[in-house]
Amino acid sequence: MRTETNINEQEAAKQREIMERLKVRLAKKSEELGRPLTYCSVCFGCQMNAKDSEKLEGILETIGYVRTESEEADFLIMNTCTVRENANLRVYGRLGQLKKLKKKNPEMMIALCGCMMQESLVVEKIKQSYRHVDIIFGTHNVFKLAELIENKLDSKGMVIDIWEGTTEIVEDLPSDRKYDFKCGVNIMFGCNNFCSYCIVPYVRGRERSRKPEDIIDEIEKLVSDGVVEVMLLGQNVNSYGKTLDEPISFAELLKRVEQIEGLKRIRFMTSHPKDLSDELLEVMANSTKICKHLHLPMQSGSTKILSDMNRRYTKEDYLALVDKIKTAIPDISLTTDIIVGFPTETEEDFLDTLDVVRKVRFDSAFTFIYSKRTGTPAATMEFASTEEEIKERFNRLLHEVQEIAKETCSKDEGKTMEVLVEGLDEQDESLLTGRLSNNLLVHFPGDVSLIGTFQNVKLSEAKGFYYIGELV
């Protein structure tokens, strides 16, 4: 376990030096080959992983790799997720296929990183069965990619560097932002909640908050670079700041972020219901920049299951919290995560989940079938229901959630609202796609020059989970 101070500037300087060396070395290689060296970046999982991938891509671009979407690249990096078993299976499937590509291009390097690599059994399996992997690292040392590539170029074997944990935060390294006008900003890392089904605290380590002044600095730089919307990222943003030498609340941080001139929209993810404060609701209600959207994972509606999950709130607590939120911010959009088939869940418990879904009327819900994660407390619990019963419950929940979301999401039909134009519609390139404050998408005719700007759009037709609109 490392115990360095919070921000490690020396480390960042060291990495920048390595990047300079590699740049020269890879330029030579590219000259010998008579073509640019390419990289392909594959990312599974959550917003935290997406943010890490931007950092990895920033390093790769700095040392001279050119991005390609094809896996036939000189450098392939896969940032993995392990929150559910099928995420792991997808990685093994992809690795099998990559073996053939590597035979075709012996220059190819394959790197694996992210949450799945923090599990020792996974690394053992890769060492034994996937010898064509070149570099393995985890969630705590993303900033070290250049150094690991240099090590690989200087050695024959697999380079493996997994840290069990860290108290260190290395900043000020390049990042290849996906959008010019919006950006995710880490405000904290790790999680201390140990929900009994969840592997995240084991693979992302203990909760660490960044200092408010570093966060503000980063956002100010982003804004001067053209960013108008930020998404503050953390596994449990509501407990932000508690571990700092000078503790501050998440609500206080939001107030400071709000003051940044030029910044137009603030989002954040994820809120744990047990830590959501009245102060936060007050700040949200009075803010002109904080988007009217809360992602508030409920996981289950049964007090018994919530207790077995170690969520530290009851069904009644959750419902009372939702009431309080809706009173404080009437036009709020609420979204959630729900797990079906937690080992001890019975039909009666599931009916409690359906009951909460019907009472709250979420704008959308991510629904998951419980997936056993070895090493977590729930992994040793006996199942109270069969697989068929769980699948049937899952389908019932999905149907309910979708029917309600269709209605809830249509409530603004006919109104004119402001969107941030994000890009071309993926299905129909004659349309633009914009995002409302409440996180819903609107597709409407318009010119590409509007991308990155705010526009007023009439929400002409509700389509369930999105709108078709027109510029006004």
Beta bridge partners of 96: none
| Partner from ligand 5AD, ligand SF4, none binding residue 373, C-beta < 5-8 Å depending on class | ligand 5AD
Which of 79, 235, 239, 353 touches ligand SF4 by CB under 6 A?
Answer: 235
CA dihedral 31, 35, 36, 39 (to 10 degrees): -120
Nearer to ligand SF4 (CB atom), residue 55 or residue 295: 295
| Partner from ligand 5AD, ligand SF4, none binding residue 84, C-beta < 5-8 Å depending on class | ligand 5AD
| Partner from ligand 5AD, ligand SF4, none binding residue 19, C-beta < 5-8 Å depending on class | none
Nearer to ligand 5AD (CB atom), residue 161 or residue 337: 337
Nearer to ligand 5AD (CB atom), residue 378 or residue 442: 378
Which of 195, 281, 417, 421 touches ligand SF4 by CB under 6 A?
Answer: 195
Please state, in angstroms and rounded to a whole number, the distance separating the CA atoms of residues 129 and 134: 13
| Partner from ligand 5AD, ligand SF4, none binding residue 165, C-beta < 5-8 Å depending on class | none
**Residue 348 Cβ vs ligand 5AD, minimum distance, rounded to whole Å:** 20
Nearer to ligand SF4 (CB atom), residue 60 or residue 198: 198
CA 199 and chain centroid, separation: 15
Beta bridge partners of 364: 335
Please state, in angstroms and rounded to a whole number, the distance separating the CA atoms of residues 305 and 334: 22
Please state, in angstroms and rounded to a whole number, the distance separating the CA atoms of residues 343 and 345: 6
| Partner from ligand 5AD, ligand SF4, none binding residue 235, C-beta < 5-8 Å depending on class | ligand SF4
Helix/strand/coil for 312: coil
Site for ligand 5AD, rule CB under 6 A: 83-84, 197-198, 297, 299, 337, 339, 368, 370-371, 373
Nearer to ligand SF4 (CB atom), residue 237 or residue 442: 237
Strands 416-424 and 431-436: antiparallel
In the chain, the amino acid numbered 335 is T
**Residue 250 Cβ vs ligand 5AD, minimum distance, rounded to whole Å:** 18
Helix/strand/coil for 48: helix
Stretch that binds ligand SF4, among 2-10, 186-194, 395-403, 461-469 (CB under 6 A): 186-194
Q: Is 232 in the site for ligand SF4 (CB under 6 A)?
A: no
Residue closest to ligand 5AD, measured at CB = 337
Cβ burial, residue 279 (10 Å; 0-12/13-18/19+): middle
Stretch that binds ligand SF4, among 64-72, 198-206, 220-228, 314-322 (CB under 6 A): 198-206
- Identify which of 235, 196, 204 has the alpha carbon closest to the alpha carbon of residue 373: 196
**Residue 354 Cβ vs ligand 5AD, minimum distance, rounded to whole Å:** 16
| Partner from ligand 5AD, ligand SF4, none binding residue 88, C-beta < 5-8 Å depending on class | none
Q: Is 366 in the site for ligand SF4 (CB under 6 A)?
A: no
Q: Is 302 in the site for ligand SF4 (CB under 6 A)?
A: no
| 362 contact partners, CB below 8 Å, separation of at least 6 | 334, 335, 336, 401, 404, 405, 408
Q: Would the CA dihedral through 385, 386, 387, 391 be positive or negative?
A: negative
**Residue 200 Cβ vs ligand SF4, minimum distance, rounded to whole Å:** 4
What number of residues does the chain have? 472
The DSSP code for 45 is: S
**Residue 317 Cβ vs ligand 5AD, minimum distance, rounded to whole Å:** 17
| 419 contact partners, CB below 8 Å, separation of at least 6 | 434, 435, 436, 442, 454, 455, 456, 457, 469
Q: Is 208 in the site for ligand SF4 (CB under 6 A)?
A: no
Q: Is 193 in the site for ligand SF4 (CB under 6 A)?
A: yes
Nearer to ligand SF4 (CB atom), residue 175 or residue 367: 367
Q: First-to-last CA distance in the chain?
A: 57
Nearer to ligand SF4 (CB atom), residue 269 or residue 325: 269
Q: Please report where in the chains the tokens 């911010």 appear, as a residue.
A: 329
What does the DSSP assignment read for 128-152? HH-TT--EEE-SS-GGGHHHHHHHH
Please state, in angstroms and rounded to a whole number, the distance separating the CA atoms of residues 127 and 397: 40
**Residue 426 Cβ vs ligand 5AD, minimum distance, rounded to whole Å:** 24
Which of 48, 198, 266, 325 touches ligand SF4 by CB under 6 A?
Answer: 198
| Partner from ligand 5AD, ligand SF4, none binding residue 272, C-beta < 5-8 Å depending on class | ligand SF4
Cβ burial, residue 157 (10 Å; 0-12/13-18/19+): exposed
Nearer to ligand 5AD (CB atom), residue 233 or residue 257: 233
Helices (H) and strands (E) in the chain, counts: 13, 19
Q: Is 305 in the site for ligand SF4 (CB under 6 A)?
A: no
- Identify which of 367, 471, 457 has the alpha carbon closest to the alpha carbon of residue 84: 367
| Partner from ligand SF4, ligand 5AD, none binding residue 302, C-beta < 5-8 Å depending on class | none
**Residues contributing to the site for ligand SF4 (CB under 6 A):** 191, 193-195, 198, 200-201, 235-236, 272
